[in-house]
Amino acid sequence: MAELLVIKIGGGEGIELDAALSEIDGLVRAGTRVVLVHGGSHETNMLSERLGRPPTFITSPSGHTSRRTDRETLEIFEMAYCGKVNKGIVESLRHLGTDAVGLSGIDAGIWTGTRKNAIRAVDESGRTMIIRDDLTGRVERVDAGFLRLLLDNGRTPVLTPPAMSDEGVAMNVDADRAAAATAAALGADELLLLSNVPGVLRDPEDRGSLIEAVSSLEEVREAAKGRMKNKVLGAEEALTGGVARVVIGSASGASPIADARSGAGTVFEGAIA
Amino acid sequence: MAELLVIKIGGGEGIELDAALSEIDGLVRAGTRVVLVHGGSHETNMLSERLGRPPTFITSPSGHTSRRTDRETLEIFEMAYCGKVNKGIVESLRHLGTDAVGLSGIDAGIWTGTRKNAIRAVDESGRTMIIRDDLTGRVERVDAGFLRLLLDNGRTPVLTPPAMSDEGVAMNVDADRAAAATAAALGADELLLLSNVPGVLRDPEDRGSLIEAVSSLEEVREAAKGRMKNKVLGAEEALTGGVARVVIGSASGASPIADARSGAGTVFEGAIA
C-alpha cells in the first residue's frame, strides 16, 4: 500500500503556501497519497473587517480560544475557507499537475460530530458566561470510505472546515483536530501540523526553546499555549488513533514538508510517557 | 439504469431555493440521480458592492453580456459561488437527508475548456475594444467519469463555476451552458434550466408571451434576449449532445421542478427544425 500522509497547513497571517504545494505535487507524482487540510483564519479575519463585522473570539475557562461563530460569521467563514482559500489551493495544485479536489467537511458528510450547545466562556472582566447559539463543534467521525474512494481514483483531497453537526447544521471546527481525526480514520503513516511557529516552544517568546523529540506528553501539554493547545491535543488524538508519527512544525522555508518529515519541529513518535 | 436529471438553478435576485431543494431530496429518495448546478450572480454582486468593488459587465458586439472578471473579481466570485451559495445548498440538502457533495468546476477538473484570450466588447459609446486579461471562458470537456463515481456511490453532486482553463487557471464560465455540457456528457434524460423568468418570451416585457413547445429553433433564438441567449444556446447544445428533453422554466412556486418536468416553461423535445 502506498504511503499516506495527512498534512495540515494553517491559515495564520504570513503563511505562504507555494513551497508546500510544490512539495505536495512532488509527493503525489512519486506515488505518495496525500490528504491536505487547510485553515483560513487570517483571510476570514480580513474579510470580516472589510465587511464591517470584525471577528470576536471566545476564551474558555481553561484558556482555549475559538472564533465566536454566529450565522453571519459562518457565512463569512465559508466564503474565506471554502471559497477563496480552498479554490486558490486547488487551482495552484492543478496548475502544478496534481488532480486536487477541494471539499469542506460538510461535503459528502466527510466530517461530522456534535455542536457545542453550551460553551463556557470567560469575558474580559473574568466572569464566566454560557453561550448557547454558537455554531462550533468537534469532529467525531470521518467518512474515510469517501476519502479512500477519491484517493483510489488518483485524486488528492483538499479539506477545510466547516463540518456537519449531528443536528444537521454546518459548524466551525478546529482544523488541526479535524486533520488528526482524518489521519486516524485513514490509518495515515504520518500527520504533519504546519503553521507559522516552529513547533511547541517551552517559552512562547523564545523560538530557540523548541521541544524536539517528545518524551513526555505532560511536558508538551504544559508548554502549549493558545492555539498550540489544539495542535498538541490533535497530535495526541492521532497517536491514540494509531498514527505512527506526528510532527508539529513550520510551514515556512523552501521545503517545509521535507523539513518536518526529517524531524524539524516537535516530533511525536514511538513510546511516549 | 436509474433516471438522471441535470437541474440548473440560477443565482439571480429573488430566487428562493427551498422548494426546489426539497423536491430534489424527494427525487433522490425515490432513486432518481440528480446533478444540481447553481449560479450565484446576485450574491456576487452584493458581495462586490459590500467590498467596494461594484461589478462591471461586458457586452459583446452580438449582445451577450458577461461579468468582467479580473483576478480580484474571480476571488470574490469564488467566495460567493463556492463559499456562501454552494455550502449553503449542501447544508440544506444534507439537512433534508440528501448526501450532497459541493464542488466547483475546477475540483477534480470536472469542467475544463478554453479561456477567451481576446474578448471583443462594446463600450457605452458603441466603440468595440479588445480585452485580453479576462478570466472567462467556456466549458468544452466534462469529467463524466468522476461525476458517475459520485453518483454510483449514492452522492448528489452540487456543481458551480468556476471551471479550469487549459492553461491552468480558474475561469468564470456560463453556468447554463456548463449544465448543458454536463447533461450531454452524462447522457442525462432531462435538463432543466430554472431561473427567475418563466421561459423564453416572445416579448420580454410580457410574461404571457411564453414560447411553450419549441417547434422552431430559429424562433427561440430570435426571441431570446440578454441572459436568455445563453440558456437557449445551452438547450441547443444539450439536444445536440443527445439529451432528450430540455425545459427552460421558472425556479419559483411550490414545485418548480415538477412544474418544469410536466411542461411549464419552454420545452425542447423531439424533432425541432
Instruction: Report the residue of A87, A152, A158 to disrupt the B interface, i.e. the one with the largest count of B CBs within 10 Å.
Output: A87
Using the predicted structure, report yes or no on whether residue B63 has a pLDDT greater than 80: no
One-letter amino acid at B265 equals G
Q: Which residues of B touch A86 (CB under 8 A)?
A: 82
Q: Do A94 and B106 touch (CB under 8 A)?
A: yes
Residues B132-136 have a mean pLDDT of 93
**Cβ of residue A62 closer than 8 Å to a chain B Cβ:** no
**Cβ of residue A53 closer than 8 Å to a chain B Cβ:** no
Tens digits of residue pLDDT in B147-191? 999 999 999 999 999 999 999 999 999 999 999 999 999 999 999
What span, in angstroms and rounded, lies between the C-alpha atoms of B173 and B115? 9
Cα-Cα-Cα-Cα dihedral sign, residues A24, A29, A34, A38: positive
Mean pLDDT for all residues in chain B: 95
- How far does the CA of residue B157 sit from the closest CA of chain A (Å)? 9
**Cβ of residue B79 closer than 8 Å to a chain A Cβ:** yes
- Of A78, A86, A155, which is closest to B84 when you measure between CB atoms? A78
- Of B51, B82, B101, which is closest to A50 when you measure between CB atoms? B51
Contacts of A259 (CB under 8 A, 6+ apart): A249, A250, A253, A265
- Selected residue with higher pLDDT from A113 and A14: A113
What span, in angstroms and rounded, lies between the C-alpha atoms of A115 and A137? 4
Using the predicted structure, report yes or no on whether residue B126 has a pLDDT greater than 90: no
A163 to chain B: closest CA residue: B91
Tens digits of residue pLDDT in A47-79? 999 999 999 988 888 777 788 999 999 999 999
Cα first-last separation, chain B: 30
Q: Which residues of A touch B83 (CB under 8 A)?
A: 75, 78-84
Q: Are β-strands B190-195 and B4-9 bridged in parallel, bridged antiparallel, or unpaired? A: parallel
**Cβ of residue A111 closer than 8 Å to a chain B Cβ:** no
**Cβ of residue A113 closer than 8 Å to a chain B Cβ:** no
Instruction: Report the residue of A21, A38, A79 to disrupt the B interface, i.e. the one with the largest count of B CBs within 10 Å.
Output: A79
What does the radius of gyration of chain B's CA atoms come to, in whole angstroms? 18
Residue B59: its pLDDT value, please? 87
- How far does the CA of residue B154 sit from the closest CA of chain A (Å)? 10
Residue B196: its pLDDT value, please? 93
**Cβ of residue B47 closer than 8 Å to a chain A Cβ:** yes
- Cβ atoms < 10 Å from Cβ of A64: 15
Q: Do A103 and B99 touch (CB under 8 A)?
A: no
pTM comes to 0.96
Q: Which residues of B touch A95 (CB under 8 A)?
A: 168-169
What span, in angstroms and rounded, lies between the C-alpha atoms of A84 and A248? 25
Instruction: Report the residue of B96, B107, B150 to disrupt the A interface, i.e. the one with the largest count of A CBs within 10 Å.
Output: B107
Phi and psi at residue B222, to the nearest 5°: -70, -35
CATH topology of domain A4-269: Carbamate kinase (3.40.1160)
Q: Which residues of A touch B81 (CB under 8 A)?
A: 83
**Cβ of residue B107 closer than 8 Å to a chain A Cβ:** yes
Q: Do B94 and A162 touch (CB under 8 A)?
A: no
**Cβ of residue A141 closer than 8 Å to a chain B Cβ:** no
Give me the DSSP letters along chain A. Answer: ---EEEEEE---TT---HHHHHHHHHHHHTT-EEEEEE--HHHHHHHHHHTT----EEE-TTS-EEE---HHHHHHHHIIIIIIIHHHHHHHHHHHT--EEEEETTGGG-EEEEE-SSEEEE-TTS-EEEE-S--EEEEEEE-HHHHHHHHHTT-EEEEES-EEETTS-EEEE-HHHHHHHHHHHHT-SEEEEEESS-S-BSSTT-TT-B--B---HHHHHHH--TTHHHHHHHHHHHHHTT-SEEEEEES-SS-HHHHHHTT-SEEEES---
- Residues 10 through 29 of chain B touching chain A, CB cutoff 8 Å: none
Question: Domain limits of chain A?
Answer: 4-269
Residues B251-262 have a mean pLDDT of 97
Residue A45: its pLDDT value, please? 96
Tens digits of residue pLDDT in B31-57? 999 999 999 999 999 999 999 999 998
Using the predicted structure, report yes or no on whether residue A100 has a pLDDT greater than 90: yes
- Of B79, B100, B107, which is closest to A101 when you measure between CB atoms? B107
What letters, b where the CB count within 10 A reaches 16 and e where it falls short, cover A111-133?
Answer: bbbebbeebebeeeeeeeeebee
- Of A80, A91, A106, which is closest to B170 when you measure between CB atoms? A91
% of chain A with per-residue pLDDT over 70: 100
One-letter amino acid at A111 equals W
Phi and psi at residue B97, to the nearest 5°: 125, 0
**Cβ of residue A92 closer than 8 Å to a chain B Cβ:** no
- Of B78, B90, B102, which is closest to A84 when you measure between CB atoms? B78
Instruction: Report the residue of A25, A49, A94 to disrupt the B interface, i.e. the one with the largest count of B CBs within 10 Å.
Output: A94
- Selected residue with higher pLDDT from A225 and A76: A76
Q: Do B107 and A106 touch (CB under 8 A)?
A: no
Using the predicted structure, report yes or no on whether residue A221 has a pLDDT greater than 90: yes
3-state SS of chain B is: CCCEEEEEECCCCCCCCHHHHHHHHHHHHCCCEEEEEECCHHHHHHHHHHCCCCCCEEECCCCCEEECCCHHHHHHHHHHHHHHHHHHHHHHHHHHCCCEEEEECCHHHCEEEEECCCEEEECCCCCEEEECCCCEEEEEEECHHHHHHHHHCCCEEEEECCEEECCCCEEECCHHHHHHHHHHHHCCCEEEEEECCCCCECCCCCCCCECCECCCHHHHHHHCCCCHHHHHHHHHHHHHCCCCEEEEEECCCCCHHHHHHCCCCEEEECCCC
Q: Do B79 and A81 touch (CB under 8 A)?
A: no
Mean pLDDT for all residues in chain A: 95
CA torsion angle A208 A212 A215 A218 (round to 10): 50
ipTM: 0.96
Q: Which residues of A touch B169 (CB under 8 A)?
A: 91, 95
Using the predicted structure, report yes or no on whether residue B124 has a pLDDT greater than 90: no
Q: Do A107 and B91 touch (CB under 8 A)?
A: no
Residue A14: its pLDDT value, please? 87
Residue A234: its pLDDT value, please? 97
By CB atoms closer than 10 A (0-12, 13-18, 19+), residue B252 is middle
What span, in angstroms and rounded, lies between the C-alpha atoms of B261 and B179? 17
What span, in angstroms and rounded, lies between the C-alpha atoms of A271 and A260? 19
Q: Contact, B190 vs B239, CB < 8 A?
A: no
Using the predicted structure, report yes or no on whether residue A271 has a pLDDT greater than 80: no
- How far does the CA of residue A215 sit from the closest CA of chain B (Å)? 41
